Amino acid sequence: MSAAAEGTLHDGDGRVLAGVGVSAGRVIGRVKRMPDPVQPPADGAPLPEGADVDSETARLKAATQAVAAGLKARAAAATGDAAAVLKATALMAGDRTLLKSATTLVASGTSAESAIWEAADAVATQLTALGGYMAERATDVLDVRARIVAELRGVPAPGIPDSDEPFVLCAVDLAPADTATLDPAKVLALVTSDGGPQSHTAIIARSLGLPAIVAATGTTALADGDLVFVDGITGTVTRDPGPAEEEIAASYANRAALPDFDGAGTLADGHAVPLLANVGSGSDAVASAEAGAEGVGLLRTEFCFLGRDKEPTHEEQVEAYRAVFDAFPGRKVVVRTLDAGADKPLPFLTDDSEPNPALGVRGYRTDGATPGVLARQLAAIAEAAELSEADVWTMAPMISTPAEAERFAQLCAEAGLRRPGVMVEVPSAAVLAGQLLQRVDFASIGTNDLTQYTMAADRQLGALAELNDPWQPAVLHLIQATADGGRAAAGTGAAAGPGAPAGTEAAAVAVAADSAAKPVGVCGEAAADPALAVVLVGLGVATLSMNRRALPAVAAILRTVDLAEAQRLAGLALGAASATEAKQLVRAELPDLERFGL
Ligand code: PEP
Ligand code: MG
């Protein structure tokens, strides 16, 4: 591994810039930078010098028309989510009410920039007040406003740049709205100077199968048109690539094709490792079922209601959950109750004035501050489950104590939900997994949060990306402790009475009865890393849940090892002194990673 990949910022001549590789792939391409966000004009700025009301109104109209036409053309050329987002934005750019309010302001002597800024503000505020679908349109208005102001200033429009040629997209970080218009046919690779392995950018890059590097601080100096080699495997960006890099990129392009996932995750010895999907909507679930997912290991219910300022109604919830359940008749679907807070704020549950939201009232904890929402959600899940044929399991995020696990199991029972579980995302839950699992039926490890809390490193902070790595041996030890807890709690539960505390003789007997172990899965991003997936299985993890695009790679690599080998590799990783060493030691033992370019 190069010095750069070991964590130094760059090599001697600054040609190699290092970050953290978060999505595999090796490509050469020219840089296009994400434009800087549009800065607001001064409040009520007067007409520019030399302009009069007529010329300023004409300038405003021309800018608005140019933005609407540009968006319409892009919408016509796009597909799927991107087309829908662009179409909605184009419609907003041509909105007569918006233009009328802005021209009225220009007529009163305000500059076109300030007028459109102020007019859009008023429209966005009105839409937000209407709530529901209309409130969600407020973001489109604000996006249109930024585009019109950029047009008036003659600077590049915000958002993903447009280009006829494929390019390497360089940005500080990407916002969720940007990624909806990211066209994988145009973007060769993603490089950000901020963001961590668990950041939105990283998750999206993996879901689109794009090579990606985050936390590459040195890349802020790259300019439009620079030729670079991006290596998402080592996490390096090389300026002015030469024959050596061309050869690596060419051999990556000629890598062995990954077989499609056939719908049954197994090791080489036939040991089954069900491979499930992480989903956030019904359409996601349908696509995941088509990709062969054996069920859903994580339904992020808050994704169905992000941006909503009011609790969704019972009917809305039943409909959203059913859309997912119906994609998996007869299959397991693990629903996570609302995980509001920190990186996923929901105004009806979270308090945005908290000084430290990641350590605040989030996930299951919101039930104390806003009682009732959780019970109502469980009732909606139960009704949707009743109406569908899916095998519905329900888990709570951010569980920290056995008492919380017990209460959640009670709430599930009261709602008529048969399979209560907990997410293990907080180190206390991993340490006491045996006790937690005596009270519920299963656990699913959220390695994204478990890593940030174990390493005390904000998952969104690029500067801490090296700490925020699920290969950190400390995180792997907690995963092992959780899997051990599942075995120690075998045969326990509400029906079986209190179980044997971990470490007792009874627990040892339970360990022997592995088949009766309470299942412990992983649904964090770690499960989508094929090499780490092998380690997780070796640590005792029973199921892996991931973005559907990761299924073929994880399935292919799992099939190259038997259980004993997975356990040996897990031992290597546990004994390593750093995340880099753990990853290096394990990857060196899995030659098929290189063959498939993973
Ligand atoms: C996790 O923390 O690993 C997880 C799966 O939950 P989220 O990423 O939604 O916080
Ligand atoms: Mg989490």
> Does a structural domain hold residue 318?
yes
Distance 303 CA to ligand 1 centre (A): 12
- State the DSSP code for 22: E
Phi-psi region of 342 (alpha: psi -120 to 50; beta: other; left: phi over 0): left
Q: Which atom of ligand 1 is nearest to the CA of 523?
A: 5
In CATH, what number is assigned to the domain containing residue 64? 1.10.274.10
- Asked if residue 243 is part of any domain, the answer here is yes
DSSP E strands in 165-244: the ranges are: 167-171, 187-192, 212-214, 227-231, 236-239
Contact 260, 292 (CB under 8 A): yes
State whether the beta carbon of 448 lies less than 6 angstroms from ligand 1: yes
At 180 the pLDDT is 66
SS3 498: coil
524 CA closest ligand 1 atom index:
3
CA of 343 to the centre of ligand 1 (A): 10
Please state, in angstroms and rounded to a whole number, the distance separating the CA atoms of residues 116 and 100.
10
170, 304, 412, 523: the catalytic one is 523
- Whether 170 is a known active-site residue: answer no
- DSSP 3-state of 544: strand
pLDDT computed for residue 263 by the predictor: 97
d(CA 21, CA 522): 21
In this structure, the residue with its CA closest to atom 4 of ligand 1 is: 446
Domain end residue (candidates: 218, 253, 288): 253
What sign has the CA pseudo-torsion 270, 273, 274, 277? negative
Task: For residues 246 and 282, state if they share a domain.
Answer: no
Known catalytic residue at 200: yes
- Residues 201 and 219 reside in one and the same domain: yes
Residues 281, 247 share a domain: no
Residue 46 lies in a domain: no
3-state class (DSSP) for residue 126: helix
Indicate if ligand 1 lies below 6 Å from the C-beta of 300. Answer: yes
The one-character DSSP state at 493 is B
- 222 within domain boundaries: yes
* Angle, CA 124 vertex, CA 122 and CA 129 arms, to 5°: 95
Contact 89, 140 (CB under 8 A): yes
pLDDT confidence of residue 505: 43
Q: Within this chain, do residues 64 and 27 fall inside the same structural domain, yes or no? A: no
Angstrom distances, CA of residue 335 to CA of 296, 386, 404, 423, 536: 8, 14, 18, 11, 22
Q: Please state the length of the chain.
A: 598
Do residues 500 and 540 share a domain?
Answer: yes
Please work out whether the CB of residue 447 comes within 6 Å of at least one atom of ligand 1: yes
- The number of beta carbons lying within 10 Å of the beta carbon of residue 51 is 16
3-state secondary structure of 275: strand
Q: Would you say the CB of residue 524 lies under 6 angstroms from ligand 1?
A: yes
Same domain, 189 and 119: no
Domain of 194 in residue numbering reads as 3-35+160-253
378: in domain: yes
Is 258 part of any domain? no
Q: Are residues 64 and 22 in the same domain?
A: no
**Could you tell me if 560 and 590 are in contact, meaning their C-beta atoms sit under 8 angstroms apart?**
yes
SS3 562: coil
Number of neighbouring beta carbons within 10 Å of residue 224 = 13
First-to-last CA distance in the chain?
Answer: 15
User: For residue 259, is it within any domain?
Assistant: no
Report the CATH number that the domain containing residue 17 is assigned in CATH: 3.50.30.10
The encoded tokens of residue 94 equal: 């041509």
Instruction: Clarify whether residues 104 and 142 are in a common domain.
Output: yes
pLDDT of residue 513: 44
Query: To test ligand 1's pocket by mutation, which of 350, 425, 536 has the most ligand atoms within 8 angstroms of CB?
Result: 425
The confidence score (pLDDT) of residue 82 equals 66
Instruction: Name which of 181, 182, 207, 205 is nearest 192 in CA terms.
Output: 205
Query: Of 127, 153, 179, at which residue does a domain stop?
Result: 153
Amino acid at 364: Y
Å from CA of 128 to ligand 2 middle: 28
Supply the DSSP string of 33-97, one letter for each residue.
Answer: EPPPPPPPPPTTPBPPTT--HHHHHHHHHHHHHHHHHHHHHHHHH--HHHHHHHHHHHHHHT-HH
Domain-ending residue, one of 137, 153, 169: 153
- Please give the pLDDT value at position 125: 87
Does residue 77 form part of some domain?
yes
Domain total in the chain: 3
Provide the b/e sequence for 163-175 (b: ≥16 CB within 10 Å): eeebbbbbbbbbe
Of 10, 170, 200, 304, which is the active-site residue? 200
Whether residues 303 and 168 fall in one domain = no
Q: Using the mean position of ligand 1's atoms as its centre, give its distance from the Cα of residue 579 in Å.
A: 20
Among 291, 292, 374, 368, smallest CA distance to 335 is for 374
- The answer, yes or no, to whether any atom of ligand 1 lies below 6 A from the CB of 449, is yes
What residue owns the CA closest to ligand 1's atom 3? 446
What is the pTM (predicted TM-score) of this model? 0.74
- Closest-CA residue, ligand 1 atom 8, reads 448
Cα of 451 to ligand 2 centre, how many Å?
10
Please give the number of the atom of ligand 1 that sits closest to the Cα of 525: 3
CATH of the domain at 419: 3.20.20.60
Nearest ligand 1 atom to alpha carbon 198: 8
CB of 196 sitting under 6 A from ligand 1:
no
Residuewise pLDDT in 10s, the chain (598 residues)? 333 333 333 344 678 998 888 888 999 999 999 988 889 998 889 999 999 999 999 999 999 999 999 888 878 877 766 677 778 778 888 888 899 999 999 999 999 999 999 999 998 888 877 766 666 677 778 888 999 999 999 998 888 888 889 999 999 888 766 776 788 889 999 999 987 776 667 777 877 889 999 989 889 999 999 999 999 988 899 999 999 999 999 989 999 999 999 999 999 999 999 999 999 999 999 999 999 999 999 999 988 877 677 899 999 999 999 999 999 999 999 999 999 887 777 888 888 788 888 999 999 999 998 999 999 999 999 999 999 999 999 999 999 999 999 999 999 999 999 999 999 999 999 999 999 999 999 999 999 999 999 999 988 777 788 898 999 999 999 999 999 999 999 877 644 433 334 444 443 443 444 568 999 999 998 999 999 999 999 999 999 999 898 999 999 999 999 999 999 999 999 999 999 999 999 999 999 998 998 8
Q: Do residues 497 and 544 both lie within one domain?
A: yes
Same domain membership, residue 166 and residue 134: no
User: What pLDDT score does 491 carry?
Assistant: 79
Residues 134, 180 within the same domain: no
CA distances from 402 to 237, 405, 429, 433, 435 (A): 46, 5, 8, 8, 6
